[in-house]
Amino acid sequence: MKCPFCSYIDSKVIDSRPTDEGSTIRRRRECISCNKRFTTYEKIENVPIIVVKKDGRREAFDSSKILSGMLKACEKRPVPKKLIDEAVLDIEKKVYNTLDQEVTSERIGELVMKKLKELDEVAYVRFASVYRQFKDINTFMDELKKLLNEE
């Protein structure tokens, strides 16, 4: 860390503690050259993830949209909200851990369907019917047959 007083490039950390909200670390430093002390704050930098839609549009990743879709799919189903929240967090982690700055909406949809299949098969079919845009009863039945064959 560069000293704000003499511009020397190296310093040592004397004290380190989290701030009240816990999202930032406050570090007390001392310059090795001039021995003056200064404070720095360190926080996690979130790299924005862009979602590439089917029509080519791009928009910022928003996990609240995943939550909304999963809540609609699980409506009137015996799925605890806590499990849905955990699934959303898991999907969000997977999206951020890809290390890509862009992710397709198809990839996110597949992750959501995988989680819903684990949580509740009816919710999975509900989501899949909208996500995959089932055109008729035959495509709906094909998806149900796949689900039954996997068991």
pLDDT tens digit sequence for 19-42:
877 778 999 999 999 999 999 998
Q: Does the pLDDT value for residue 1 go beyond 90? A: no
Q: What is the pLDDT of residue 84?
A: 94
Task: Specify if 1 maps to a domain.
Answer: no
Instruction: With respect to residue 2, please indicate whether it lies within any of the assigned structural domains.
Output: no
Mark whether 30 and 70 lie in a shared domain: no
Q: pLDDT digits over 111-123, tens only?
A: 999 999 999 988 9
Q: Are residues 127 and 142 in the same domain?
A: yes
Is the pLDDT assigned to residue 131 strictly greater than 80?
Answer: no
> How many domains would you assign to the chain?
2
Domain range for 19: 11-43
Lowest mean pLDDT among 3-17, 34-48, 58-72: 34-48
Q: How far apart are CA 114 and CA 131, in angstroms?
A: 13
* Phi (first) and psi of residue 36, to 5 degrees: -80, 155
Q: Are 13 and 21 in contact (CB under 8 A)?
A: no
pLDDT in the model for residue 138: 75
Residue 88 lies in a domain: yes
* 38, 88: one domain: no
Q: What is the pTM of this model?
A: 0.65
Q: Is residue 92 part of a domain?
A: yes
> Which residue in this structure is represented by tokens 């860390």?
1
Residue 151's pLDDT is what?
Answer: 65
